[in-house]
Amino acid sequence: MDTELVFRILVLILLVGFIAHRGYYSRKYRPAEGNTIKQREASRTSGVANVLFLVGVAATIGYIAVPSWVAWASLPLPAVLRWVGVGVALLGFGLLQWAQQVLGKNWSDTPRLLKEHTLTVKGPYRAMRHPIYTAFFLILGSTLLISANALVGLAWLLATVLDVLSRVRYEEALMVETFGGPYREYMARTGRFFPRIMP
């Protein structure tokens, strides 16, 4: 089988898997009517991120179905680096599943405060405050390496960065407002997206 075809199929599997995973948990933990106390409203940043996500979808469809459409953005990456990208994506999916299971009913598809919300500090949350977003960076960022295409990879990566930064600002302010001192202490001992190396 043609190596380039293998990478195109892998990008398709990665994105379909990511969307299916998000859809499954969105249905599983859909908040009951009236259970939301407060939630983030759409912002200009999230709007720009959504446009970039659409660019990512269009570029990915082009890369998979008609590669010549996006060939101008190809990067000369060696196959070994592209396989590293596959490993990064698998690591991301592992972290995503672990974090989702630990967070359980505290998870929501959009940043919000629920009536029964509790502060989760176990599993990956013991070392970092936003492991699900770290997983997003790993999974969607890996498309840059796997596809070896700047348009595909950078659209997904930039959209993810903008969306996550917008979410994190809101979430952390909400957690401080809700949990006060315990959350500030938690922030002091953990990293935002990666474990804190130095205290």
**pLDDT digit string, tens, across residues 80-107:** 999 999 999 999 999 999 999 998 887 7
Average pLDDT over residues 126-146: 96
What distance in Å separates the CA atoms of residue 141 and residue 157, rounded to the nearest whole number? 5
**24 lies in some domain:** no
Cα 106–15–130 angle (5° rounding)? 30
Closest CA to 160 of 50, 25, 10, 23: 50
Tokens of 135: 């997983």
Q: What is the CATH number of the domain that holds 151?
A: 1.20.120.1630
pLDDT tens string 9-49: 999 999 999 999 999 988 887 766 666 666 667 778 888 88
Q: What are phi and psi of 47, to 5 degrees?
A: -65, -45
Q: Which pTM value belongs to this model?
A: 0.91
**199 lies in some domain:** no
**Whose structure tokens read 């009236």?**
34
Residue 139 pLDDT more than 80? yes
**26 lies in some domain:** no
**194 lies in some domain:** no
**198 lies in some domain:** no
Q: How would you classify the pairing of strands 36-39 and 112-114?
A: antiparallel
What domain range is 97 assigned to? Answer: 3-15+41-189
**140 lies in some domain:** yes
More confident call, 175 vs 72:
72
User: What is the count of structural domains for the chain?
Assistant: 1
Tell me, rounded to whole angstroms, the distance of Cα 16 from its chain centroid. Answer: 14
